[in-house]
């Protein structure tokens, strides 16, 4: 079913789920978990202290029950906060990813593939902010509030000191956050630089043996590692500073105020909280890393719009294309003048790196072009409009295999293709092993070889209804038998479609109508069909 | 073969154990300081309990000198945390640098024979992420694993002399934790296996479809794929929830025991002090408080281990890659003048390649023939020493393939490749010889021009540049692996002629699918079905 409004229905579906409620529930459960943990510590230590000095009338049953109730509350809220929180996270992640994907309609990536690939974990980092950072930090604030409250209610003379301590904590907390944000920008830059350096290094592998010194040229990641260690050190120092100030406060309280509370059980509560600072307050500092990566990930996701190009779509059926002074934008390629129409194969020759792929992409409208591209539609109308031709199939040099069934991999070219039709096409291109249309392909299951990928791509082209076929190096990585087979298929396709083949191999059986070279000084038609015969 | 029965997982485990053993000293040092840190923490608790007892039970003022031990213990504790963290990050840095060096050593030995096997993204991931996965595992997870086993023993050891009943309560609950965690873990794993295929296949669909963006955009199927993604994520989310609802119980079990043990100990201590319970020795506030503070230490290290648990899975996945990469092959680096070879029974093991006899005289021109996939490239790589083989060539060799690798540096660097003894005059001469002198003259800065800034080299020009590099080095033997495969017929003829002319007096082994004049060669090596046959 193809419905124009399907994306709207999907969005509505996702939004209809009560995500807000789940979030509130998660946060409440997380807070309960935090508070119960701290409360056990407070009540239990007070209880012991009170028992040690208790007189006859001491009601010991109530606190004992409270302690056990708090324990159960803590365990239950812990489990359910994880469960509800995870559910919220998964739904939020799904919604975010769908939104990102929906935003990429009619767009193509203009930078390297990994920038889009990174969206996988970046979306995770953005979606998990509620659970991983907001919830945790709300818990911290609640705990701090409890600390202040305990001191106001039970130990009023200590309140000023506790408030000062709270201030110190906030100072350390914010200072750390600012410092980390600063460093993380450097880390992101260093990481990008390292990625690029490794890529270049690997691409230079064929000449490593000629290098005067391999080690001098090999990229080392020491700088990145040092930066990451530096960030870790910031967190560590902040934590230690916090513990140090907590212990300082503890000792001041013991030395200055114990005199006022001789024999009072409630005195124990504050020192106990300070002593276990390392368990309930310092983790909050390490947690700031989550916020920092959230900020970076969010920025990266917003950048996808600048890393992708928005294309307008031309959906009329195409009868012929005339190009004049045509070349892909921002290249040093020569300009091409040619006319492409149905019947016979149009061949584009040139060595690798001459820009054949870019030429085909520019013709399909995947990248911008200079000069003119005049489209003649089946309606006899003509247009020089720029934009993506929806009536064209661009077959990549290494056709992408979707991680999906064979059927889905073929139906991406034509949604209405029948199973019988698909099997027939697979037989024609010689992919007998993919006869089971439900077989799963892709990275985690059946991998296709280079030649199989080529033929899968061609099978897509055969199923497609498009009238313009742009084939990028269809003969590379194939043996002679398959080259012959593929040539015949391309010949058949070219009888009622406009077919352009970019290649540096010219098979004998190919029914060439015209042959353009991108590498001679002036791009020209090298020969036409009649000359090819001899 | 024996290797066939070893799964990649087992290989990874073996490798991980080996590297762990090698890096033991760093790990042991961190563990030792962490243990001291634990002892310092316990002594802080002890002095604190003492002081509190003094205030609340004895109802005496605290004298400053009574606080000195507490303050000292706290200072020692904090400095030990600092020391342990520092040691940890230092060891991590060392381990990661060492691993990086090993990867580069393999690169340096095997060159394209190894890099060709995976995409550039794979190597990026290996160097950027997998190395630090191993580093984290060795220095955080492994240390924490030991700590979570030792810390409870230390805590029990100090509680036992004070009150054996509390120690026994804790002793009885402790073994229950691993038992329950294993049970829960098994349940979750079984559930995960049940949904494994769906989770594996559908889980990565988002990044898969992003990679396929061009395909999807050109085929106009964005809406349909969006719907497919939505369906997939609904299924994945549902299945994941059913797995995690069990998996989370593992954390909860730990939480349960930690919290309940703490509550029980508190109530037991309180009731003992009140005289409601009379089991075991009498307890004072000092002892009770100390035990209350120390008891959580039985669980806290185990809980920290839970936080690092994902590092284990990551490291195991990374180790699979390293186990395959880092074997013990070293290249013999003899660069003597080439005096000819006559090898009997030459063979390469992976993949299988064999020759009864292989002869190469100085000045020979050998045509290396065979269909693609028969092992021509393997033979050339073995001659280069990039692959382990029965014989090694002792000569100064160069390999020209169709990947010419133009570096993003100056033209000069692209020619001398770091060898500063090459003069400018030599370089200009070399460019003259390969017919790139006009190209050079058109560059704004001559040899100093950055190659990133000048017009992209065409396939033919890049091959000429590659030839110029070889001419600049005193190489006796030049191996050619389809240097013209990607060129058009006309360019192939031009470049082949140029190569023939310039390398006439050298020893050459040339693999080419495109036709070359027979008269150029005085020897033929034919490769088929893993066997090399030579005809002089």
d(Cα B448, Cα B506) in Å, to the nearest integer?
A: 30
Over residues B215-221, the mean pLDDT reads: 86
Interface mutation vs chain A, best among B56, B287, B453, most A CBs within 10 Å? B56
- Inform me whether the pLDDT recorded for A523 exceeds 60: no
- Which chain A positions have a beta carbon within 8 Å of B45's beta carbon? 275
Helices (H), B126-221: 131-136, 142-159, 164-203, 205-211, 213-218
- Determine which of A258-262, A524-528, B394-398 has the lowest per-residue pLDDT on average: A524-528
Q: In the structure, what pLDDT confidence band is assigned to residue B328 with cuts at 50, 70 and 90?
A: low
Q: Residue B355 belongs to what H/E stretch?
A: strand B353-360
Percentage of residues in chain A with pLDDT exceeding 90? 51
**Sign, Cα dihedral of A464, A466, A467, A472:** negative
Nearest-CA neighbor of A450 among A425, A475, A481? A475
| B95: closest CA of chain A, how far (Å) | 11
State chain A's mean pLDDT as an integer: 87
pLDDT of residue B536: 74
**Sign, Cα dihedral of A77, A78, A79, A81:** positive
Q: Which residues neighbour A358 within 8 Å (Cβ) at sequence distance 6 or greater?
A: A328, A331, A333, A367
| Three-state DSSP state, A408 | helix
Strand segments (E) across B226-352:
341-348
Cβ contact B213–A220 (<8 Å) = no
What are the pLDDT digits (tens) for A35-60? 999 999 999 999 999 998 877 677 88
pLDDT of residue B455: 64
Nearest to B263 among A13, A67, A200 (CB): A67
Q: How far is CA A506 from the centre of its chain?
A: 40
Q: In the structure, what pLDDT confidence band is assigned to residue A352 with cuts at 50, 70 and 90?
A: low
What are the pLDDT digits (tens) for B103-124? 999 998 888 888 988 888 889 9
Interface mutation vs chain B, best among A10, A15, A40, A49, most B CBs within 10 Å? A49
Over residues A284-308, the mean pLDDT reads: 87
Comparison of pLDDT for B457 and A281, the residue scoring more: A281
Over residues A241-270, the mean pLDDT reads: 92
ipTM comes to 0.89
Cβ contact B55–A254 (<8 Å) = yes
Three-state helix/strand/coil letters over A76-103: HHHHHHHHHHHHHHHHHHHHHHHHHHHC
What are the pLDDT digits (tens) for B160-211? 999 998 998 888 888 888 888 888 888 888 888 888 888 888 888 888 888 8
- Inform me whether the pLDDT recorded for B135 exceeds 60: yes
pLDDT of residue B211: 85
| B255: closest CA of chain A, how far (Å) | 6
d(Cα A174, Cα A172) in Å, to the nearest integer?
A: 6
Nearest 5°: phi and psi at A157?
A: -65, -20
Comparison of pLDDT for B531 and A527, the residue scoring more: B531
Give the count of beta carbons closer than 10 Å to the beta carbon of residue A421.
Answer: 14
pLDDT of residue B91: 95
Cross-strand partners of B410: B450
pLDDT of residue A18: 65
d(Cα B103, Cα B91) in Å, to the nearest integer?
A: 18
What are the pLDDT digits (tens) for B359-376? 999 999 999 998 877 888
d(Cα B193, Cα B191) in Å, to the nearest integer?
A: 5
A486 near A306, Cβ under 8 Å? no
- Determine which of A17-21, B25-29, B327-331, B451-455 has the lowest per-residue pLDDT on average: B327-331
d(Cα B112, Cα B107) in Å, to the nearest integer?
A: 8
Percentage of residues in chain B with pLDDT exceeding 90? 43
Interface mutation vs chain A, best among B220, B228, B258, most A CBs within 10 Å? B220
- Which chain B positions have a beta carbon within 8 Å of A191's beta carbon? 128
Task: State both tokens at B416.
Answer: 């001398």
Cross-strand partners of A323: A338, A373
Q: How far is CA A382 from the centre of its chain?
A: 41
- Choose the most confident range, by mean pLDDT, from A187-191, A350-354, B37-41, B470-474: B37-41
Comparison of pLDDT for B350 and B453, the residue scoring more: B350
- Determine which of A45-49, A519-523, B227-231, B503-507 has the lowest per-residue pLDDT on average: A519-523
pLDDT of residue A6: 44
Cβ contact B45–A415 (<8 Å) = no
pLDDT of residue A516: 84
- Inform me whether the pLDDT recorded for B125 exceeds 60: yes
Nearest to B213 among A52, A82, A116 (CB): A116
- Inform me whether the pLDDT recorded for A16 exceeds 50: no
| A534: closest CA of chain B, how far (Å) | 17
Over residues A413-428, the mean pLDDT reads: 93
Comparison of pLDDT for B471 and A19, the residue scoring more: B471
B52 near B285, Cβ under 8 Å? yes
Cβ contact A116–B210 (<8 Å) = yes
pLDDT of residue A70: 95
- Inform me whether the pLDDT recorded for A12 exceeds 60: no
Interface mutation vs chain B, best among A11, A15, A36, A71, most B CBs within 10 Å? A71
pLDDT of residue B453: 61
A285 near A172, Cβ under 8 Å? yes
pLDDT of residue A478: 79
A218 near A201, Cβ under 8 Å? yes
pLDDT of residue B160: 93
- Which chain B positions have a beta carbon within 8 Å of A49's beta carbon? 52, 56, 285, 289
Cβ contact B124–A114 (<8 Å) = yes
Interface mutation vs chain A, best among B65, B218, B384, B454, most A CBs within 10 Å? B218
Cβ contact B67–A13 (<8 Å) = no
pTM of the complete model: 0.87
Percentage of residues in chain B with pLDDT exceeding 70? 96
What are the pLDDT digits (tens) for A139-174? 989 999 999 999 999 999 999 999 999 999 999 999
Which chain A residue's Cα is nearest to B265? A44
- Which chain B positions have a beta carbon within 8 Å of A460's beta carbon? 219
- Which chain A positions have a beta carbon within 8 Å of B384's beta carbon? 209
- Inform me whether the pLDDT recorded for B7 exceeds 90: no
Cross-strand partners of A502: A348, A472
Cβ contact A68–B57 (<8 Å) = no
Nearest 5°: phi and psi at B351?
A: -70, 165
Beta carbon pairs, A and B, within 8 Å: 410
- Which chain B positions have a beta carbon within 8 Å of A214's beta carbon? 104, 107-108
pLDDT of residue B123: 93
What are the pLDDT digits (tens) for A84-143? 999 999 999 999 999 999 988 888 876 654 567 788 889 999 999 988 899 989 998 999
Over residues B483-489, the mean pLDDT reads: 82
Nearest to B271 among A60, A413, A504 (CB): A60
What are the pLDDT digits (tens) for A450-492? 888 889 999 999 999 999 999 998 887 777 888 899 999 999 9
| A290: closest CA of chain B, how far (Å) | 14
Over residues B90-95, the mean pLDDT reads: 95
CA distances from B330 to B59, B203, B276, B341, B380 (A): 75, 40, 75, 21, 18
Cβ contact A218–B107 (<8 Å) = yes
| A138: closest CA of chain B, how far (Å) | 20
pLDDT of residue A3: 39
- Determine which of A363-367, A436-440, B487-491 has the lowest per-residue pLDDT on average: B487-491
Nearest to A221 among B55, B127, B404 (CB): B127
What are the pLDDT digits (tens) for A301-312? 888 877 777 888
Cβ contact B124–A198 (<8 Å) = yes
Over residues A221-233, the mean pLDDT reads: 95
Helices (H), A258-337: 269-275, 277-280, 283-286, 288-307
pLDDT of residue A334: 77
Over residues B128-133, the mean pLDDT reads: 94
pLDDT of residue B68: 95
> What does the CA dihedral A381, A387, A388, A394 come to, rounded to 10 degrees?
90
pLDDT of residue A10: 47
CA distances from A93 to A164, A292, B233, B267, B285 (A): 40, 18, 9, 44, 51
Over residues A13-26, the mean pLDDT reads: 73
What are the pLDDT digits (tens) for A196-216? 899 999 989 999 989 988 999
Give the count of beta carbons closer than 10 Å to the beta carbon of residue A272.
Answer: 22
CB-hemisphere CA count at 13 Å for B505?
2
Nearest to A60 among B263, B274, B491 (CB): B274
What are the pLDDT digits (tens) for B400-456? 988 888 888 899 999 999 888 999 999 999 999 898 898 888 888 889 988 866 666
Query: Which DSSP letter does residue B425 get?
Result: H
Nearest 5°: phi and psi at B342?
A: -145, 95
- Inform me whether the pLDDT recorded for A182 exceeds 60: yes
Nearest to B211 among A116, A220, A236 (CB): A116
CA distances from A455 to A179, A469, A490 (A): 54, 14, 12
């Amino acid at each position: 079913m193809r419905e124009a409004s399907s994306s709207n229905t999907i969005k509505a579906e996702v939004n209809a789920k009560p995500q807000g409620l789940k979030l509130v529930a998660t946060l409440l459960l997380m807070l309960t978990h935090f508070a119960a943990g701290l409360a056990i510590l407070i009540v239990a230590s007070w209880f012991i202290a009170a028992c040690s000095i208790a007189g006859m009338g001491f009601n010991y049953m109530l606190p004992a029950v409270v302690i056990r109730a708090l324990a159960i509350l803590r365990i239950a809220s812990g489990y359910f906060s994880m469960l509800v929180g995870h559910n919220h996270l998964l739904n939020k992640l799904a919604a975010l990813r769908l939104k990102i994907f929906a935003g990429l309609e009619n767009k193509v990536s203009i930078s390297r593939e990994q920038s889009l690939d990174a969206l996988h974990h970046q979306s995770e980092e953005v979606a998990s902010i509620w659970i991983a950072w907001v919830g945790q930090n709300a818990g911290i604030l609640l705990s701090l509030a409890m600390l202040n409250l305990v001191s106001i209610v039970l130990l009023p003379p200590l309140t000023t000191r506790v408030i000062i301590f709270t201030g110190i904590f906030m100072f350390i907390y914010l200072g750390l956050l600012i410092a980390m944000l600063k460093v993380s920008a450097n880390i992101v830059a260093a990481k990008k630089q390292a990625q690029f350096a490794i890529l270049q290094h690997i691409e230079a592998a064929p000449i490593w043996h000629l290098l005067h010194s391999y080690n001098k040229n090999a990229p080392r990641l020491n700088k990145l590692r040092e930066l990451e260690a530096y960030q870790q050190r910031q967190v560590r120092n902040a934590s230690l500073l916090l513990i140090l100030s907590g212990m300082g406060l503890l000792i001041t309280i013991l030395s200055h105020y114990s005199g006022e509370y001789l024999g009072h059980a409630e005195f124990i509560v504050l020192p106990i909280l300070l002593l276990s600072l390392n368990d309930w307050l310092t983790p909050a500092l390490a947690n700031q890393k989550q916020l920092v990566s959230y900020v970076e990930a969010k920025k990266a996701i917003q950048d996808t719009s600048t890393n992708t190009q928005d294309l307008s779509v031309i959906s009329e059926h195409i009868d012929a294309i005339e190009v004049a002074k045509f070349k892909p934008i921002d290249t040093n390629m020569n300009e091409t003048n040619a006319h492409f129409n149905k019947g016979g194969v149009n061949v584009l020759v040139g060595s690798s790196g001459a820009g054949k792929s870019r030429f085909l992409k520019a013709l399909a409208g995947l990248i911008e072009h200079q000069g003119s591209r005049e489209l003649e539609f089946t309606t006899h109308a003509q247009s020089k409009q720029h934009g993506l031709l929806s009536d064209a199939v661009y077959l990549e040099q290494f056709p992408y295999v979707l991680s999906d069934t064979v059927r889905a991999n073929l139906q991406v070219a034509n949604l209405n293709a029948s199973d019988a039709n698909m099997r027939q096409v697979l037989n024609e291109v010689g992919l007998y092993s993919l006869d089971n249309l439900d077989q799963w392909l892709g990275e985690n299951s059946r991998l296709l070889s280079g030649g199989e990928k080529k033929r899968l791509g061609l099978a897509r082209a055969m199923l497609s209804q498009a009238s313009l076929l742009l084939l990028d190096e269809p003969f590379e990585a194939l043996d002679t038998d398959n080259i012959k087979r593929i040539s015949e298929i391309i010949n058949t396709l070219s009888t009622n479609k406009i077919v352009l083949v970019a290649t540096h191999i010219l098979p004998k059986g190919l029914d060439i109508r015209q042959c353009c070279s991108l590498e001679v000084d002036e791009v020209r038609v090298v020969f036409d069909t009649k000359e090819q015969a001899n | 073969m024996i290797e066939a029965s070893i799964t990649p997982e087992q290989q990874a485990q073996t490798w991980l154990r080996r590297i762990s053993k090698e890096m033991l000293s760093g790990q042991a040092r961190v563990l030792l300081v962490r243990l001291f840190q634990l002892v310092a923490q316990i002594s802080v608790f002890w002095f604190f309990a003492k002081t509190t007892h003094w205030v609340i039970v004895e109802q005496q003022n605290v004298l400053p000198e009574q606080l000195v031990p507490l303050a000292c213990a706290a200072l020692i504790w904090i400095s030990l945390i600092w020391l342990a963290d520092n040691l940890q990050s230092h060891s991590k840095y060392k381990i990661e640098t060492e691993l990086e060096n090993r990867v580069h050593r393999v690169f340096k030995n095997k060159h394209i024979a190894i890099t060709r096997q995976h995409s550039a993204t794979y190597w990026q991931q290996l160097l950027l992420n997998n190395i630090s996965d191993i580093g984290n595992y060795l220095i955080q997870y492994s240390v924490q694993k030991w700590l979570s086993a030792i810390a409870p023993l230390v805590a029990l050891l100090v509680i036992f002399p004070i009150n054996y009943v509390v120690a026994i309560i804790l002793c009885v609950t402790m073994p229950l934790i691993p038992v329950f965690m294993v049970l829960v873990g098994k349940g979750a794993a079984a559930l995960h296996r049940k949904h494994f295929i769906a989770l594996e296949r559908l889980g990565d669909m988002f990044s898969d479809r992003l990679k396929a963006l061009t395909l999807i955009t050109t085929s106009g199927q964005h809406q349909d794929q969006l719907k497919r993604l939505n369906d997939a994520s609904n299924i994945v989310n549902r299945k994941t929830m059913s797995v995690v609802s069990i998996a989370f119980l593992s954390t909860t079990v730990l939480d349960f025991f930690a919290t309940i043990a703490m509550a029980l100990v508190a109530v037991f201590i309180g009731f003992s002090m009140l005289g409601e319970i009379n089991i075991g020795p009498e307890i004072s506030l000092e002892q009770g408080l100390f035990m209350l503070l120390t008891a959580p230490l039985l669980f806290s290290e185990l809980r920290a281990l839970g936080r690092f648990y994902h590092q284990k899975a990551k490291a195991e996945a990374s180790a699979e890659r390293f186990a395959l990469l880092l074997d013990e092959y070293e290249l013999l680096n003899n660069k003597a003048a080439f005096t000819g070879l006559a090898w009997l029974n030459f063979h390469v093991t992976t993949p299988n390649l064999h020759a009864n006899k292989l002869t190469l005289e100085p000045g020979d021109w050998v045509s290396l023939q065979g269909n693609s996939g028969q092992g021509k490239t393997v033979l050339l790589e073995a001659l280069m020493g990039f692959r382990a083989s029965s014989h090694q060539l002792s000569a100064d060799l160069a390999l020209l393939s169709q990947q010419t690798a133009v570096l993003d540096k100056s033209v000069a660097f692209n020619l001398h490749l770091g060898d500063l003894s090459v003069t400018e005059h030599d370089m200009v001469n070399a460019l003259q010889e390969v017919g790139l002198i006009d190209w050079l003259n058109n560059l704004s800065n001559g040899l100093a021009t950055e190659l990133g800034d000048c017009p992209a080299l065409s396939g033919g020009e890049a091959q000429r540049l590659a030839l110029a590099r070889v001419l600049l080095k005193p190489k006796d033997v030049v191996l050619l692996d389809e240097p013209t495969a990607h060129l058009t017929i006309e360019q192939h003829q031009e470049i082949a002629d140029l190569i023939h002319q310039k390398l006439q007096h050298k020893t050459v082994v040339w693999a080419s699918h495109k036709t070359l004049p027979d008269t150029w060669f005085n020897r033929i090596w034919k490769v088929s079905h893993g066997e090399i046959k030579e005809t002089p």
